[in-house]
Amino acid sequence: LLACIIENESIKSGLFPGPGANISSSKGGGLTKTKNQFRLCKAMFGDEKDWRTVL
């Protein structure tokens, strides 16, 4: 989990934005936290045979 977050800067900044970097997703300013969580899930389990069909 931590390795996937640390190695992928876009997921890291989407889940943990820096101070003062609150991007408004309602104004088209980035992905929602839920979408970033799904990207993290795909990064963690995307290569697993049992999960490929689900993801």
Q: Is residue 53 part of a domain?
A: yes
- Top-confidence residue, 36 or 29: 36
Task: Give, as one character, the DSSP assignment of residue 25.
Answer: G
Residues 6+ apart with CB under 8 A from 32: 25
Q: Is the pLDDT of residue 25 over 60?
A: no
Q: Which domain holds residue 33?
A: 1-13+29-55
Give me 49's structure tokens: 């045979």
Task: Give, as one character, the DSSP assignment of residue 27.
Answer: G
How many domains does one find in the chain? 1
The mean pLDDT of the chain is 81
Q: Is residue 54 part of a domain?
A: yes
- pLDDT for the residue numbered 2: 92
**What is the Cβ-side half-sphere exposure of residue 31, based on CA atoms within 13 angstroms?**
15
- pLDDT for the residue numbered 8: 93
- Please give the share of the chain, as a percent, with pLDDT higher than 90: 24
Contact 5, 12 (CB under 8 A): yes
- Span 3-22, pLDDT tens digits: 999 999 999 988 888 787 56
